[in-house]
Every structure is written in C-alpha cells, then in structure tokens.
Chains A and B, each alone.
Chain A
Amino acid sequence: MPHPTDDSWTVLGLESSCDDTAAAVLRGTGGGAVILSNIVLGQTELHAAFGGVVPEIAARAHAEKLDLAVEAALESADVTLEQIDAIAVTAGPGLIGGVMAGVMLAKGLAAATGKPMIGVNHLAGHALTPRLTDGVGFPYLMLLVSGGHCQFLQVVGPEDFTRLGGTIDDAPGEAFDKVAKLLGLGQPGGPLVEAEARKGDAKRFSLPRPLLDRPGCDMSFSGLKTAVLRLRDTLVADQGGLHAQDRADICASFQAAMADVLAEKTRRALAQTQAPVLAVAGGVAANQVLRAALEQVAAAAGARFLAPPLKLCTDNAAMIAWAGLERLRMGARDDMSLAARPRWPLDQTASPMLGSGKKGAKA
C-alpha cells in the first residue's frame, strides 16, 4: 500500500506543558489541515475524575490524563492508532513534569507504531495557529497573549520567529486577574473586569501607561496593578469604602490604560515589520475593548486583523499537531533523543544577545 505523502498525513498531537492535558488528531490537506478531534482535559474534569488540584504539577497525573486524552481524541476522530502517520508532541517550554510525560508517551507511541515523531515548541504552536485556522502566509505579526506570555513575534517560517518585544513583568491576563482580586471581583479576572468596566467611566481616573514613553515594543503591566491598588486604598481611606460606581470606574480606567499600551506597542510592531497581517491569540482578543483598539491599529496600518477562535488560542493539542505537521512537511524528524526542555526560547538568535525574558519555566 502506498504511503500517503506528508501533505495528507494524519497527525496525533500531544500537549501537557501547562495546566491542561490535551490530545488532537489533524489531517493535512492541500497545504492546510482539518481538525478531526481536539480534546482538552481541563482542570474541572481533572478535579472531578481524580480529585486533583490546579494546576497539575505531577508527571504521573499528566501521564494518566494523557492516555485518556489520546483515547478520546482517536475515538472522536474515528481513527485507530495504526492510521496515525506521525506523532507531534510539545517538548517545551513548560513545567518539567508535564512536558516529560508528553515526550515519554510520544516516544512510546512512536516506538510501538514505528511512525515518525516530532517535537514542537509550545509557543510555536500558538504562533502558527493563524495558518491552521485562516491559511495565512508568511510573514505575519503575532501578538501572542497566553497564560503568562505576552510577546510580539514576527513569524517568518515554521521554525523562524523574531521576537520584537514583550512584557517585562506581568502578562495582561495576570494583570486582569490581580486587579479583579484587588477589587474583590473573583476569578477569572478578564471577563469580570470587562463586565464591570462596561458600567464605568474610563476617564474618571488617570492611570499610568507604563513604558509608553520608551521606544520599542516592550510592555510592563505590574505598575498598572500597583496604581490600581493605590487608587483603591486612597478611595477607601477618603470615603470609608469603595462604592460600586468606584469599582466600575477603576475597571474602565484600567482597561483603557491596558488598551492604550497594547495599541501603541502594536502600532510600533506593525510599523517596524510592515507585516500584512496582525494575528492576535489569547484572551486579549476576547476582550471587546482591547480587540477594538487592536483592530483600529491594524486598519490604520493597512494590515489584516485576525483572531483565531478562542478554543484554538488557549492551550490545545490541535495547534501542536499543526506545528508538527508544518515541521514534518519541511522534512524534520526527531528521534528517541528528543529531550523535554523546560526553557526553550522561540527566537534563538535574540536570546544570547538581548536575553530579554527568555529564561525560565515557560518563557
């Protein structure tokens, strides 16, 4: 039986570098791919099934969940393990226990089936998603905002990324979470702060726009959070408490500051790269105010704005299968020496020279 060309390969993707455990099956077609299944075993399911906690740290628990995720992904795609042509796995960056569990399973499956295996950088998975969802050509500008990440990437090829800048402290999602906590709004902060902000006056309080006066695409959101804390404490001290309207106005002012910073830095990144497309991945695109600000900046620069569906912007294995397929199509293969890499900067060239925040478990 002739083997299908790698263009139409069926790829199993594995992802366990972060909080969630995921598996997906994807089939290549005409340079793109169709997602046959995309299973994410999130924290809720984990909690119910294993009585576990958030986030999942233990390699053992990741391994158990991965088995379940793979079974579900194969079943939902209606393919057998024998029909899989290649296995793609997140090999980093991330928490070591989870990454190791994924890499070990991929090696086991590759050895058992004799099929090729490919290691994928988790961030490359996010960065290449616009090609899976919208068939975008290279190059394009990516604003990648996921979990603790926030960075501008010029995406030139499946293994070719240039980091233009990113947050030097907190990521936007984290700033939303922490502001929500400071204001007693509960978690997750993103949607709750946005809902409050809708009732508020964004002009009542003047909050800082960190790093806006400095050149480049780096961002900082930690000071913004501290400014919210100070504002809250001042209002409480002056009035003996925080009124509902105060809270809404703080949220609106905070969100406006965030929008200004993201928009201005995006404008610079677009000007610097002259990219024809701005792709935005992550929770930022789910916030209507932030999204509108970014859409406006893209339109002004003559760039197409694109935000893949949120389900494919949060951690998932379809993006890993896709990034794997992109590498496989380039002829790349990994062997049993594939290592789990807790640190794995996407932009290898910039790291020794600039060393901007590419160290550590996930950066």
Chain B
Amino acid sequence: MMPDQALHLTSPTPDTTAKIAARLGRSLGAGDVILLSGPVGAGKSHFARALIQSRLAALGRHEDVPSPTYTIVQSYDLDGLELWHADLYRLGDASECDELGLIDAFDSAVCLVEWPDRLGALTPKDALHLTLSVQGEARDLRFEARSPRWQARLTEALQP
C-alpha cells in the first residue's frame, strides 16, 4: 500500500500507548476500521482494549475486554453504535470473514481488527493501518492511511 498519510512515533510505556488509543478512539464512528498488525506481544490487544475501555468509560461504563483470540469476535454496544473487536489469527481464509459478518460490520460498526492480513482482497481501502513493533520496553507505532478521513483525527490523537 502506498499511504497518503503515514505517521510514526515511539511510545515509551503501555500507559502512553493507552492514551494515544483513547484519543484516537474518541472520534470513531460507524464505518471506521483500524487494522492492527504486529507480532505476538507487540500490544495489539492492549491498544484495542484501551480504546474500547475509554469509549465505554465515556458512557459511564466499565467492562472487561477479553482477548478475542479464541472467540474471534467480541462486540460491544456503545449506546447504539456497535464496536467489533476481531482477531483473525485462527482464520483460514478471507471467505470466513464474510461468514462472520465482518465485511458488513466494516460499514455499519467501528471495527478493530487484529491479524488483518487474513482479509486479503477484502481489506477495506479506507481503513487505518497501525503496525506495532517491539523496542525493548517501548513500542513503535506506525499509522498509515489512504483515506483523508483519518488525517485530522490522527494529527489530533498524536499531539503530545
């Protein structure tokens, strides 16, 4: 992918990553898809959990956000707006994403998707790609997007 926007930063601690996730999460609405890539332990679930819990907290709610590795999809109701947290690690091919209802959810819900390489040709074109990598205690966060819908939001979220 040749991104129109790419932003790169290093987050020194899990707390900093959580704050970035929460700031980015504030503006997410139906049709927004974030694809989270990176090896086991890079912090994909941590980022998704922080984002989801901040949105729930804004509604005065606290819920655990269990890992979706085994369940594949965990969904949350943000007072009428659905949020899907998916982990495609165990899926065999892209057709199964359709069976899960994930492709429909890309339009109707907020979607946070781990191991999005399984999507193949079904990868939504205007999704935000976040790639995490391990730098000791710190994490490198690389955001890439083609759609202009992300530009202002990313800039705001990544303000120090």
Contacts and interface: CB of A to CB of B under 8 A. Distances in A.
A361 B71 contact: yes
Interface residues of B, number: 35
A230 B63 contact: no
A361 B68 CA distance: 9
B11 interface: no
B123 interface: no
B67 A174 contact: yes
Contacts of B41: 178, 182, 225-226, 228-229
Contacts of A167: 64, 66
B82 to A, nearest CB: 11
A355 B72 CA distance: 20
B151 interface: no
Contacts of A342: 75
Nearest to A229: B41
Given A55-B72, A225-B40, A363-B74, A96 B101 contact: yes
Nearest to A147: B70
B70 A148 contact: yes
Interface of A is mostly: loop
B67 A170 contact: yes
A57 B93 CA distance: 11
B70 A95 contact: no
A168 B99 contact: no
Task: Give the interface centre of A58, A148, A169, A359 by most chain B CB atoms within 10 Å.
Answer: A359
Given A168-B64, A181-B40, A357-B63, A233 B69 contact: no
Given A53-B92, A57-B96, A96-B101, A170 B72 contact: no
Contact of B76 (A54, A55, A359): A359
A363 B71 contact: yes
A342 B74 CA distance: 10
Contact of A357 (B65, B69, B137): B65
B71 A95 contact: yes
A171 B64 contact: no
Interface in A157-214: 166-171, 173-174, 177-178, 181-182
Contacts of B137: 230
A349 to B, nearest CB: 16
A96 B99 CA distance: 9
B99 A174 contact: no
A113 B67 CA distance: 41
Interface string B72-99: 1111110000000100001111001001
Contact of B62 (A53, A170, A355): A355
A226 B49 CA distance: 15
A160 to B, nearest CB: 22
Interface in A317-363: 342-343, 355-363
Nearest to A181: B40
Given A355-B63, A361-B75, A57 B70 contact: no
Contacts of A230: 136-137
Nearest to B42: A229
A55 B63 contact: no
Given A59-B99, A95-B100, A363-B74, A148 B67 contact: yes
Contacts of B153: none
B45 A148 contact: no
A182 B66 contact: no
A222 interface: yes
Given A58-B99, A59-B99, A148-B67, 19 more contacts: A52-B92, A53-B93, A95-B71, A95-B100, A148-B69, A170-B67, A174-B70, A178-B41, A226-B41, A226-B43, A230-B137, A356-B62, A359-B75, A359-B76, A360-B74, A360-B75, A360-B85, A361-B71, A363-B71
